[in-house]
Amino acid sequence: MIPDSQKENHPLLFEQGAPGMCAVTLPMLDVPTTDKKTALPAEMLRSTPPALPEIGELDIVRHYKRLSHRCFSVDENFYPLGSCTMKYNPRINERVAAMPGFAHVHPYQLESDVQGILELLYRLRCDLAEIAGLAEVTLQPAAGAHGEMTGLMIIEAYHASRGERRSKVLAPDSAHGTNPASCACCGMSSVSVASMPDGRVDLDDLRRKVDEHTAAMMITNPNTVGVFDDQIVEIAEIVHAHGALLYLDGANMDAILGIARPGDFGVDVMHYNTHKTFSTPHGGGGPGAGPVAVAEHLVNFLPKPQVIQHEDGSFGWDYHRHDSIGIVRSFYGQIGVLVRAYAYIRSIGRDGLRDVAEKAVLNANYLASRLKHRFKIPFPPPFAHEFILVPEFESAGITEHDIAKRLIDYGIHPPTMSWPIHHCLMIEPTETESLATLDRFVEAMLDIADEIENDPSLVKTAPHTMPIKRLDEVAANRNLQVRWQQSS
């Protein structure tokens, strides 16, 4: 008989254990249960106890250990997820973040007791401003998307301070979905600007659409098709000529770190995604960090409190910023993530940052040049940190989806799919991968292309090596069952 642990769907915790089994030993109750002050009112008591699993500690440990082996992580294998950047998080960052002086501080501690972490945050905000070529940074936002929202609130406050209400935001058609979503969160409307066949912004379309109602242009540069738009200075001039501001979605900063500074090419506001650029954990829209950098004319609108250095050299929080948009995150931001970002910046230094960008770009271009003979690459090189590839195997009935699933059998995480153009794979190797890993990926892609020619059904039905095989993803999304339900 196959043991449960080897089955595809091994039992849920609720389906394991036996009455009376328990993983904890609770101390004896030392308060009276009948005391009127402490006892729960009768109407709030359940008539039957909740149906919780009764299971021993070892079985719980094995259950979660088994599940953890089903997770795919960048620590285990190549994860070329374009735009969502899964790069290795160096262990030194984890060690630093776990130091008790950082890990155990409490937001309500006196400033005088937490000078160390305050100094770190102050230094981090100065480093991020320097890297951006902008005046000042807030560390409060908890994700890139949250940074976008914060940046738009700052832009709105800026226009309001000039007696203007502007609510139109321009964004190229390759923009990440969070850009229009952030506009909607701020009560602004997003208007799409066309891209040219080479992936850069169509300046004629931009000129047609920008006007005195435009609050800002939100641009990602390099953009989501991996192209650095070298018209960026002209774009900034066009936008500024109409009194609007230029917002940079800095998600792809890892491609230009130490090479170009957004402030120098006309950007007024930008956010970083620390997970994409400074190797911190991501956390699905938070709890990550999305620090926002602004130019001098926007500094007064930054969220408060701001971490500052006093004249006597000590560090503290500044709550007295009258034009501030207010608080966008409880307490001071996602401190553990910020500590990791600081550790990363300091451990690799100025030259290391530039090296990150050069290697990220080199790796992406290496992959593109090795794959271009077998797969269509619709945008012209050179690429920045990622590139788009369109598999053309319709005659064999194979889509990008099938290739992504087959890659799982080769131990490689599927790249981003079907965005920002139809039927594409978006591949981002990051600077952290070795040549051997990149070559292994190329071999896997070429092998899959051979398989499509020889036996397309093998690819069409992949993955074959996983505990869960090909899912009907539409059904899985429409009929989500993520919670155990007691059978009646």
Ligand X SMILES: Cc1ncc(COP(=O)(O)O)c(C=O)c1O
The footprint of ligand X (CB under 6 A) covers 83-84, 143-145, 176, 178, 220, 224, 249, 251, 273, 276, 285, 288, 290
In angstroms, give the least distance from the CB of 129 to ligand X. 20
Break the chain down into helix, strand, coil percent, rounded to 5.
40, 10, 50
d(CA 249, CA 140): 16
Q: C-beta of 274: minimal distance to ligand X in Å?
A: 8
Closest by CA to 364, choosing from 80, 88, 73, 174, is: 80
Q: What single-letter DSSP state applies at residue 223?
A: -
Shortest Cβ 72–ligand X spacing (Å) = 18
Which of 144/303 has CB closer to ligand X? 144
Which residue lies nearer to ligand X by CB, 291 or 463? Answer: 291
Measured from the CB atom, is 280 or 324 closer to ligand X? 280
Question: Diameter of the chain by CA atoms?
Answer: 79
The distance of closest approach from Cβ of residue 285 to ligand X in the complex, given in angstroms and rounded to an integer, is: 5
- In the complex, least distance from residue 171 CB atom to ligand X, rounded to whole angstroms: 11
> Is residue 172 within a helix (H) or strand (E), and if so which, with residue range?
strand 168-172
Nearer to ligand X, 214 or 274 (CB): 274
| Tokens at 179, concatenated | 């850009």
Residue nearest to ligand X (CB): 144
Nearer residue to ligand X within complex by CB, 316 or 336: 336
Residues 180 and 355 sit within 8 Å (Cβ to Cβ): no
Amino acid present at 380: P
In the complex, least distance from residue 287 CB atom to ligand X, rounded to whole angstroms: 10
Write phi, then psi, for 460 (nearest 5 degrees): -60, -30
Closer residue to ligand X (CB): 16 or 224: 224
Alpha-carbon distance of 471 to 488, in angstroms, equals: 27
**Closer residue to ligand X (CB): 138 or 224:** 224
Pairing of β 425-427 and β 387-389: antiparallel
Q: What minimum distance in Å lies between the beta carbon of 148 and ligand X?
A: 7
Q: Cα-flanking dihedrals φ and ψ of residue 197, to 5°?
A: -55, -25
Helix (H, G, I), strand (E, B) or coil at 445: helix
